[in-house]
Amino acid sequence: MSSVPARRRSVFPDLTELFDALPVTGFRPPFGGNLIRVEDRLDDDKYVLRAELPGLNPEDIEVSVEDGRLNIAAERTEETSERGRSEFTYGSFNRSVTLPPGADEDQVEASYTKGILEVTVGLTTQQSGGRSIEVKPGD
């Protein structure tokens, strides 16, 4: 009977062992990935942003606008139950998006239906942009 030689273990753990050692509830995507995925579009008179936030209640979501940025913050709290497997992500989630030129920070509405947050921001017809400066001859 031949014996199979034992596999030598490296000083460095295998990549799968690193992920297995992480608590599932504390896992964050590597390299700064966003936990709130969004899509946006410009309509005639408004900017529309949709964010994927499944499994939340509207009171768990905060939307704010400041200095030309739309900010979304949400929190999913872990339900206490029998110890078992959970692949859900719990904790605080944040996403900030730069608003397009002409966005009116006083005309913002948000609604939440079936796991999708939709934020609309009014656009002013008079968008701030550059202006032409007359060049005069010097003395």
pLDDT tens sequence across 94-104: 999 999 999 99
Residue 40, strand partner residues: 49
Residue 54 is classified by DSSP as T
Q: Which domains does the chain have, with CATH numbers?
A: 30-123 (2.60.40.790)
Give SS3 for 106.
strand
Q: Are 94 and 102 in contact (CB under 8 A)?
A: no
The side-by-side arrangement of strands in the sheet containing 116-123 is: 37-42, 46-52, 116-123, 103-113
For residue 19, what pLDDT is reported?
44
pTM for the structure as a whole: 0.63
For residue 11, what pLDDT is reported?
52
Q: CA-to-CA distance for 27 and 20, rounded, in angstroms?
A: 11
For residue 82, what pLDDT is reported?
64
pLDDT tens per residue across all 139 residues of the chain? 544 444 444 455 444 444 434 444 444 444 344 578 999 999 989 999 999 998 889 999 999 999 999 999 998 876 666 677 777 777 888 999 999 999 999 999 999 999 999 999 999 876 556 777 888 888 7
